[in-house]
Structure 1
Amino acid sequence: MDSRRINFLRGRGALTNIESRFDAWSREPDEDGIEATRQAHEPEAAPRTLVAFERSRTIVSRNESPDVPFDQSINPYRGCEHGCSYCFARPTHAYLGLSPGLDFETKLFAKTNAAELLRKELSRKSYSPSVIALGTNTDPYQPIEREQRLTRSILEVLNEFQHPVAITTKSALVTRDIDILAQMAEKGLARVYLSINTLDSEIARKLEPRANTPAKRMEAIRRLSSQGIPTGVLVAPVIPALTDFDVEHVLQTAAEAGAESAAYVMLRLPLEVHDIFIAWLQQHYPGRRRHVLSLIEQAREGKHNDSVFGRRMRGTGIFADLLAQRFKIACRRFGLNQDRRILRTDLFEVPGQNQLALF
């Protein structure tokens, strides 16, 4: 790849609008024409974030993957402004006729009737409660949540029904909802994971351009745990030769902030994410490119991705085995994963149901 032909867009993770696997034809910019109208050194303006509003037909997604610790999830937004180049959810934008590249982080969709649909789903006679996960695909606390407040409206419904929820986010905005989360946690109904894969602010700024800094996320762990909310750290993704050096430091700092549990995920590069991440790597860390990819290949049986259940999250081989051992030893050393609290489902109740049963 010729990195000189790529225009870095400040505040964005993807470098281009890469074609999706569903495109019937491909497009290439007329570089000569572009250069004729602007100076080569002139920075290209970053695209604005556009938000479209949609009325969804369903809101709860079911999962049957054996290596994922939940069977229900909610994603109030499509696309994610955080702009993480490695995000495994990017290919989902292709189903909308959009690019998994810049479109994924600039053309967002908000499911405005999320709380309404959730209330309807939980009120069904056939509904059986199990933990609902927020943040499994796109971040429920990405920047547009400040105005849209869809995640908060979902939490209000879950709290009303006394339904358990597990949240994963890269945003300190989750602390805005401490009032609800603390009420739920007191009953054993809430758990929050902050995703932090490095404490190096420079690497994080390039990897996750519109996410909160690692320091702010650590402070969020401190604030949540101080209010009695079970809090953990998700070291994800671990990127060989780029962030893996920081695993123990992240775990130690999170434990000191009050985290009681931890997990990790090895870097995954499914479908279009593969080329997006490699382009990002070439742009920001060209000197490490070959080393990073070599270690990924060692952990993925000579490939850059492995979609097999049981292997896709951890990898195989010497590097993957050493990482697993390092993680286990560090968790034991810092007192993490010693007593994982199980979220309760026995308190679930449809509001007004018991009163109606009296008549």
Structure 2
Amino acid sequence: MHTVRAKGILSASNGMNIYRGCQHGCIYCDARSNCYQMNHKFEDIEVKENAPELLEYALKRKRSKCIIGTGAMSDPYIPIESKLKLTRKCLEIIDHYGFGATVQTKSSRVMRDIDLFKSINDKSKAVLQMTLTTVDENLCKIIEPNVSSTKERFETLKAFHEYGIPSVVWFSPFLPFINDTKENIDGLLKYCIDAKIHGIICFDIGLTLRDGDREYFYNQLDKHFPNMKERYIHTYGNSYQLQSKNSAVLMRRISDVCRKHGIMFSVDNVFSYLHQFESKTKQLSLFEKIQ
């Protein structure tokens, strides 16, 4: 771990990365790709120690309220967050200034801050985004070695629903020949139905590989799945998009189940929902005046 004094924190779309790099060790992580120009070892986490003060400075100057997001590139609930609490401090600021929040994570550590998500959601909107990839816990330990188990993530989704906080699940990635099966998809869908999630994001059944990410992924295949790298190279060559042969059938399966159970599935609609700010405080004030 090393710290930096960042010059800014919010992107044009109101997203932020408090950390750069990750401790979760997922074998497929796109954030390892060379295109992101991370000039340090991926596991040597870059910590933006002044993230809370930068966020407060930015929010004070916002002309209108919006949803603040984090976790698109680096998980905000990696192990060092337990000690540093920078994500929590940022959520406290978001709550104080009446903005909305959404976080994307694979960690049940987010439960520590459920009080803040509840407070934010009571006044505006808070959304938990959780990634699910496999119902096979032994496989989970291989492809995502340092994250919460799938069952723990499911229990987290249920807890957030019980607190009235909506959630969106990312189905990503599905590794060809490994977890791109109907049995796996159906198991994940059952978790989503039981947790009463609001939406699912799934671009395709497969994964993407860029330079930097590809080399690490293939090394891990050699370590955990003998002869699988050769199968990938034979099937996909040096492609960026590695689509599962089961993609069309499984995407229809997801769509059909989502439609049946009232789960939002259109990627455009889910992203629109994630970015749409809602002010419940104003709605409450209007209701009180009518009364």
Scaled by the length of structure 2, the TM-score of the pair is: 0.84
Distance 1:291 1:333 in 2: 36
1:254 and 2:196 correspond: no
Distance 2:119 2:276 in 1: 14
Which of 73, 76, 95 matches 1:137? Answer: 73
Distance 1:253 1:208 in 2: 18
Which of 129, 134, 155 matches 1:198? Answer: 134
- Per-residue Cα deviation, 1:217-249 (whole angstroms, up to 9, x for no partner): 111111111100001221111212211211221
Residue 304 of structure 1 aligns with which residue?
239
Which of 260, 264, 269 matches 2:202? Answer: 264
Which of 269, 275, 285 matches 2:225? Answer: 285
1:91 and 2:29 correspond: no
- Per-residue Cα deviation, 1:92-150 (whole angstroms, up to 9, x for no partner): 6973433xxxx312x1111111110011011126x444322211001000111100101
Instruction: Tell me which structure has the larger Cα radius of gyration.
Output: 1
Residue 237 of structure 1: SS of its match in structure 2? coil
Q: How big is the shift at 1:177?
A: 0.7
Residue 78 of structure 1 aligns with which residue?
20
Residue type of the partner of 1:77? Y
1:114 and 2:51 correspond: yes
Residue 61 of structure 2 aligns with which residue?
124
Distance 2:57 2:165 in 1: 27
Residue type of the partner of 1:82? H
Distance 1:317 1:281 in 2: 17
Which one has a larger percent helix, Structure 1 or Structure 2? 2
> Unaligned stretches of 5+ in structure 1?
1-50, 63-70, 307-314, 350-359
Distance 1:200 1:229 in 2: 27
Are the counterparts in 1 of residues 71 and 105 from structure 2 also a CA contact under 8 Å? Answer: yes
Are the counterparts in 2 of residues 197 and 238 from structure 1 also a CA contact under 8 Å? Answer: yes
Are the counterparts in 1 of residues 133 and 171 from structure 2 also a CA contact under 8 Å? Answer: yes
Residue 158 of structure 1 aligns with which residue?
94
Residue 321 of structure 1 aligns with which residue?
248
Scaled by the length of structure 1, the TM-score of the pair is: 0.69
Q: How big is the shift at 1:182?
A: 0.8
Distance 2:276 2:191 in 1: 29
Residue 72 of structure 2: SS of its match in structure 1? coil
Residue 238 of structure 1: SS of its match in structure 2? coil
Are the counterparts in 2 of residues 252 and 334 from structure 1 also a CA contact under 8 Å? Answer: no
Q: How big is the shift at 1:321?
A: 2.8
Are the counterparts in 1 of residues 170 and 202 from structure 2 also a CA contact under 8 Å? Answer: yes
Percent identical pairs in the alignment equals 28
Residue 7 of structure 2 aligns with which residue?
57
Residue type of the partner of 1:226? E
Are the counterparts in 1 of residues 129 and 167 from structure 2 also a CA contact under 8 Å? Answer: yes
Are the counterparts in 1 of residues 180 and 244 from structure 2 also a CA contact under 8 Å? Answer: no
Residue 36 of structure 1 aligns with which residue?
none
- Per-residue Cα deviation, 1:326-345 (whole angstroms, up to 9, x for no partner): 22123224442189666653
Total equivalences in the alignment = 272
Q: How big is the shift at 1:268?
A: 1.2
Residue 251 of structure 2: SS of its match in structure 1? helix
